[in-house]
Structure 1
Amino acid sequence: MKQVVYDGSFAGLLTAIFEVYEYKLKDVTLCREGDFSPALFEKHHVVYTNEQKAKRVMAKLNSKMSTAALSQFYRCFLAELSEMDNCLLRYAKYTVSSKNSVENNYRNPDVLLVQQISRKVYREKHRMEAFVRFKLTGDGLYYSVIQPDYNVLPLILKHFRERYADQRWLIYDVRRKYGIHYDGSSLEEVSIDFGSSSQASIVEERSSVLDEKEELCQQLWQQYFSSVNIPERKNMKLHIRHMPKRYWRYLTEKMA
């Protein structure tokens, strides 16, 4: 079994798929650079991301897949699951080799897995759009910390750019150590070096940088949340199902 090592980007994945065909590689397994551990006498192929190769693969998939299927393909890549890259390679090869559309052939295990995982990522995207809570800093920047199960930050940018088009904001994923900053006109990916300190604790607890009215706004939001609750109709199981506890640490209404 030959390992095909790529840089972990989506363009890198598409380049890897291209080179599997280009070099007629057989019995391969895809591997991201961060997960690659070379073994003695084990063969491997290193992929250098090539935008032209990536575009050719995307064009081919676009000719064989619907827009919905392409979105599912991309969401599965963002799931960052250990076996997902190889599933996507098999799915792409199955799609290219078939005369007819295969995206609804759930008898194929890879097609079925893509459908299942893409739904989970899509559900996480919607939760992030609902659960992001911004805090205002003294210099007018709204920032929010998230820690989603999947890498959904690229999927929620359109929502927040349209909703907060006239504001400066930063959404930072502490699990993946990168964020997206919007300056009022353009988006930029950012990475923050926190040294040996906990990223979550530094980003969350630096109250000294908050706007002087931010604490009052948080208190008002907590009071509003408390006032609309009806104790007699409390259903904690249903509440947790719609708002899992893993999100609570970042929700203003749960910090009261």
Structure 2
Amino acid sequence: MSKLTPIRRSTAPARPNARRPAPELTAAPRDYTYDGTFEGLLTVLFTIYDWRAAPNSIQPEATAQTGLFAQPAHRETDEALAARVWEGLLKIMDKEARARLYHVFLSEDPDRELLIFRYVDLALRTAHDVSENYANADVRRVQRLAQQMFREKHRMEAFVRFEKTADELFHATIEPDFDVLPLLAAHFTKRYADQRWLIYDRRRHYGLYYDLTRPDVVRFEPETPQKSTELSATVLDEREPLFKLLWQAYFDHVNIPERKNMKLHRRHMPLRYWKYLSEKQPREVRFEPIRNKRPPGEANLRLE
């Protein structure tokens, strides 16, 4: 009777998800330009490794400045390639780290494009997670910008003040230090799902409009800038002045003068936001404390 020969299995660890090493950038460096969108920047990142050409610079085409001996290379946005790069980033970093790259782009930092490239290149050439490698200056910079964006987003969620127009649209104007408007869509869509609203970024001349179904980006022409931060009285709901007065009265009543600390107040509510806050506008009606509504003389009666 023949014996069964056991099957010998390999003891070497399987590597089904092992990724290929990043290609070496051996070609002459280039000065890349793109259309200024995040998808355009992702297209440039793909091109860098496709051409094996490191970037001397990556700049929006509208404001690009190239050197005398530079090799300019403009890349048109390819949404399919951009989506491929965006999904591919999850192979070298987690979702939170990937989101930081988008936040860095929105920060409008002058070095944001090269910073994002260096961070991605570091992640491609490192076997372990680089998001907590704070010994690296680029990782620290990405983390710092992401924290600043989070603080600005949180402040905008707290400080936006809507005004109701005659056609039932709730309008608000903001002027944040960073381009946080795309990050506000989820919060306000969830909180004001039953109202039409528009949040307008006065500094960047575009807004976020919600039509009861989904938020969309809307553009405004910068040629005729508003000189006032307020909407014309002709387009406001006739009850809006009353709403504003009630809002101011509420803040006046909850205020405790004896505990006033303006230094702490300005830290939590910076002065640059005050011009868009209803409670910080000049009072049209002088504040009077609520008086006890007892008949005259009743206050002097004692309870038996």
Name the structure 2 match of 1:224: 250
Aligned to 1:244: 270
Partner of 2:145: 117
Alpha-carbon distance between aligned partners in 1 of 2:92 and 2:68, rounded to the nearest angstrom: 40
* Amino acid corresponding to residue 115 of structure 1 in structure 2: Q
Contact persistence 1:2–1:27 (CA under 8 A): yes
Which residue of structure 2 lines up, in the alignment, with residue 253 of structure 1? 279
Counterpart code for 1:64: I
Q: Counterparts of 2:153 and 2:55 in 1: how far apart (Å)?
A: 34
- Matched ranges for 1:87-106 at <5 A: 87-106=115-134
Asked whether the equivalents of residues 61 and 74 of structure 2 are also in contact (C-alpha less than 8 Å), the reply is no
Identical pairs, percent: 45
Q: Which residue does the alignment assign to 2:18?
A: none
Q: Which residue of 2 aligns with 1:59?
A: 87
Of 232-241 and 37-46, more deviation after overlay is shown by 37-46
Distance in structure 2 (CA, Å) of the matches to 1:33 and 1:213: 47
Q: Match of 1:8, SS?
A: coil
Alignment check: 8 A CA contact 1:60 1:96 kept: no
- Residues 208-246 of structure 1: CA distance to partner in whole angstroms, max 9, x if unpaired? 100000000001100111111111100000000000000
Q: Using the alignment, how far apart are the partners of 1:16 and 1:186 within structure 2? A: 30
Work out which of the residue numbers 58, 61, 81 in structure 2 matches 1:33: 61
1:126 shift after superposition: 0.3
Aligned with 2:53: secondary structure? coil
What is the identity, as a one-letter code, of the residue corresponding to 1:187? P
Alignment of 1:1-256 (within 5 A): 2-193=30-221, 195-196=223-224, 198-199=225-226, 201=228, 204-256=230-282
Partners of 1:190 and 1:199 in 2: CA distance:
17
What do the CA deviations read for 1:166-219 (whole angstroms, capped 9, x no partner)? 0000001011111011111122211123633x3352x62412100000000001
**Mean alpha-carbon deviation: is it higher for 1-10 or for 43-52?**
1-10
Which one is further off, 62-71 or 235-244? 62-71
- Provide the aligned length of Structure 1 versus Structure 2: 254
Deviates more, 1:167-176 or 1:52-61: 52-61
Matches of 2:168 and 2:126, distance apart in 1: 54
* 3-state SS, counterpart of residue 150 of structure 1: coil
Q: Cα offset for 1:97? A: 1.4
Secondary structure of 1:209 counterpart: coil
Task: Judge which range, 186-195 or 169-178, deviates more.
Answer: 186-195
> Structure 1 residue 71: deviation in Å?
1.5
Larger Rg: 2
Q: Using the alignment, how far apart are the partners of 1:212 and 1:182 within structure 2? A: 22
Over 3 Å counting, the alpha-carbon distance change for 1:200 and 1:179 in structure 2 is farther
**Structure 1 residues 46 and 122, CA, compared in 2 at 3 Å: closer, same or farther?**
same
Distance 1:65 1:195, change over 3 A: same
Which 5+ residue runs of structure 2 have no aligned equivalent? 1-28, 283-304
Structure 2: distance between partners of 1:209 and 1:27: 50
Equivalent position SS for 1:215: helix
Cα distance, 1:70–1:27 mapped onto 2, change above 3 Å: closer
Moved over 6 A (4+): none
In structure 2, the CA distance between the partners of 1:89 and 1:200, relative to structure 1 (3 Å rule), is: farther
Supply the AA of the counterpart residue of 2:201: D
